[in-house]
Amino acid sequence: MVDSSPEPGLFRNSVGRVIDRARENRAECEVFGEMVAILWAQENSADAIRLEELWTDLQQEYPFVLFCAYPFDNFNGAALTKPLLDVCARHSHIPI
């Protein structure tokens, strides 16, 4: 994070290195992301969505399966409908 916002280069370098190490002895790597939910809980939906985009971009460079979990309490209220749909649009499938 730089100035409380996700920084693409830092994210790619730091998380990419971790994924590289995790994949050294495995055919497939699975990642659980909690950072987006933390940003959302801090009422920072714009940066949460940006972080989702960074995860998606990272999947173009490093093959991995990404699992995300969001407490539904964080999505209460009509004002959060569009941001929630924006988050969902960045996922390949959404089990409920």
**39-79 confidence digits (pLDDT tens):** 888 888 889 889 989 998 998 998 888 887 777 676 666 55
pLDDT value of position 91 = 65
**11-21 confidence digits (pLDDT tens):** 999 999 999 99
Going by C-alpha positions, the residue among 46, 26, 28 that lies closest to residue 87 is 46
Instruction: Specify the higher pLDDT residue, 96 or 65.
Output: 65
Report pTM.
Answer: 0.77
pLDDT value of position 30 = 92
The Cβ of residue 74 has, within 10 Å, a number of other Cβ atoms equal to: 18
Distance between CA 12 and CA 94 in Å, rounded?
24
> Is residue 91 within 8 Å of 51, Cβ to Cβ?
no
